[in-house]
């Protein structure tokens, strides 16, 4: 695989990653937590999705020669951490909950899209 393949995959992943990053930034800025690391924790769900998308694109250069689970394992971990972080944000966020938690509805389709396209990107097996 080469740079063209990575750009092809990135063209599918960037919209969902951009939505996830926007939601994370809004969570961070709207949080009423006094410490920056607490705000970062409640915003980490979006950051984890962006990292998962970037990982899928980056590892796609080398993932063809690796056993399936070897390249997928870090990707799966980031997606699982997204789910944990999502529940953490729902319980620990301080601020206007209704609007900001509504934004999590945008994160769910983004997460599914990043999981779907990221899996195809890493394995090189597109449907």
Quick one: pLDDT at residue 17? Answer: 95
Q: Is the dihedral of CA 90, 46, 127, 55 positive or negative?
A: negative
57: containing domain:
3-123
Q: What is the pLDDT of residues 26-74, one digit of tens each?
A: 888 888 888 889 888 888 999 999 999 999 999 988 876 666 678 889 9
- How far is residue 53's CA from residue 50's CA, in Å, rounded to a whole number? 5
Structural domain total, the chain? 1
Residue 64 is predicted with a pLDDT of 67
Angle value at C-alpha 56, between 24 and 10, nearest 5 degrees: 75
Residue 106 confidence (pLDDT): 83
Contact 117, 12 (CB under 8 A): yes
Q: Record the pTM.
A: 0.89
Could you report how far apart the first and last alpha carbons of the chain are, in Å?
17
């Amino acid at each position: 695989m080469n740079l063209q393949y990575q750009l092809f995959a990135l063209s599918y992943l960037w919209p969902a990653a951009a939505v996830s990053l926007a939601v994370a930034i809004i969570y961070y800025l709207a949080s009423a937590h006094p410490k920056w690391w607490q705000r970062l924790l409640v915003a980490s769900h979006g950051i984890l999705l962006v990292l998962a998308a970037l990982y899928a694109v980056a590892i796609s250069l080398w993932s063809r020669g690796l056993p399936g689970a070897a390249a997928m394992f870090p990707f799966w971990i980031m997606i699982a951490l997204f789910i944990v972080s999502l529940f953490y944000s729902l319980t620990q966020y301080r601020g206007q909950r209704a609007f900001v938690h509504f934004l999590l509805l945008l994160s769910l389709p983004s997460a599914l899209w990043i999981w779907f396209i990221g899996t195809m990107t890493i394995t090189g097996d597109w449907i």
